[in-house]
Amino acid sequence: MSRSTMSSTPPAERARRRRPAGEVVLGVDTHRDAHVAAVLSVTGTVLATGEFPATVAGYRDLLKWARKLGAVRRAGVEGTGSYGASLSRYLLAQGVDVFDVNWMDRADRRRRGKSDPLDAQNAARSVLSGRARARAKTGDGPVQIARMYKLTKASAVKARTQAVNQLKAVLVTADPVLREELAGLGNAELFRICAQFTDARGREEVGAEPVVQATRITLGVLAHRIGQLSEEIRDVEARLARLVECHAPQLLDVVGIGPDTAVTLLITVGDNPERLDSEASFAALCGVSPVERSSGRRQYRRLNRGGDRQANAALHRIVFTRLRVDPRTQDYYERRIKEGKTRREIVRCLKRYAAREVFHLVKQLQSGPRL
């Protein structure tokens, strides 16, 4: 447009053109190094698409660019727990409601193909249509700390299990004299004795067989590794226990819930429990909500097979602990057995009740002290 044409436009008209045209919805397809964003109007019209680096400056530029097109109050982001985690936290801090977009419409993908701009547009349309209803976790409080510690513990437990299996596999093929020397020992005593083998590796006996000596050194190294990993696991468990005691001590007062189970459930809820609308939504998140399967004359419900399987396993542990030690749960079990219910059906009901109890305990949690 020429300068003369621009100067002939009234100032009020130019201001109106620059003013954002109402609310818009942001959709983002996230990747490791860059994010592709699309802005849609509330009627579904694509206003613009753009690509931004996955950096602090890139997040700032993305939101600034989107706000030039309208008021951004809602955003659909792919992978809010992985590549989109940092962007989600930034948008939440700027007052934007972020919804997690997991699955794209497969029928639409077959018709229109697949590209990053199309994925970003579909993320925004998921928010507009109401398909994307799961609010993103903030990931900026004690629960995120617990998530990091839980990850550390899981990897240490896996590595320790591998080291134990390797040590016992070495013993199977070891020299018969050495194998008989260590036979019949419990794990703690076995690891303690094997750890002493490395202390003598600098004083090799004259005439000792090289294979026997290598076996003893291998057992010693593995035993030391097991001890170091066990110490690391104990340290992380102590940190997790302190975090739960500071952040959600009421969970530890419930029969069947220990620090590890409490941490698992807190990670499922996240640092912003207000994103869960009801205890039914929490039950669905844990995979313990009933799903209708009725047809014709048959009235039937099956258990939800979705949700967070770690949280489902935590509720399972709570129920079976209560069946062993809680008189109230035992009375309920006996009463339902007399009514003709199977053990599986009773356990499903008890898991649903446990989810309801946990939800009301964690719903009003506030951010606690950081470790």
Q: Are 350 and 324 in contact (CB under 8 A)?
A: no
Is the pLDDT confidence value at 185 over 90? no
Q: Which of 16, 32, 25 is nearest to 46 (CA)?
A: 25
Q: What is the pLDDT of residues 118-176, one digit of tens each?
A: 889 989 998 998 888 778 888 778 888 999 999 999 999 999 999 999 999 999 888 88
Q: How far apart are CA 254 and CA 257, in angstroms?
A: 6
What tokens appear for 299 in the block?
Answer: 């009235």
Amino acid identity, position 366: Q
Q: How far apart are CA 185 and CA 13, in angstroms?
A: 88
What is the mean pLDDT of the segment spanning 90-116? 77
Q: Which of 157, 156, 149 is nearest to 243 (CA)?
A: 149
What is the mean pLDDT of the segment spanning 193-215? 71
Give the predicted TM-score (pTM) of the model.
0.73
β-pair partners for 334: none
Is the pLDDT confidence value at 8 over 60? no
β-pair partners for 301: 292
| % residues pLDDT > 70 (the chain) | 85
Is the pLDDT confidence value at 4 over 60? no
What tokens appear for 319 in the block?
Answer: 């129920």
Distances (CA, A) of 37 to 26, 122, 126, 356: 7, 11, 14, 38
Q: Which of 66, 136, 71 is nearest to 97 (CA)?
A: 136
Indicate the pLDDT class of residue 3, thresholds 50, 70 and 90. Answer: very low
Measured in residues, the chain has a length of 371
Q: What is the pLDDT of residues 9-55, one digit of tens each?
A: 454 444 444 445 589 999 999 999 999 999 999 998 999 999 999 99
Contacts of 60 (CB under 8 A, 6+ apart): 90
- CB count in 10 Å sphere of residue 353: 18
Q: Are 28 and 76 in contact (CB under 8 A)?
A: yes
Indicate the pLDDT class of residue 113, thresholds 50, 70 and 90. Answer: low
β-pair partners for 275: none
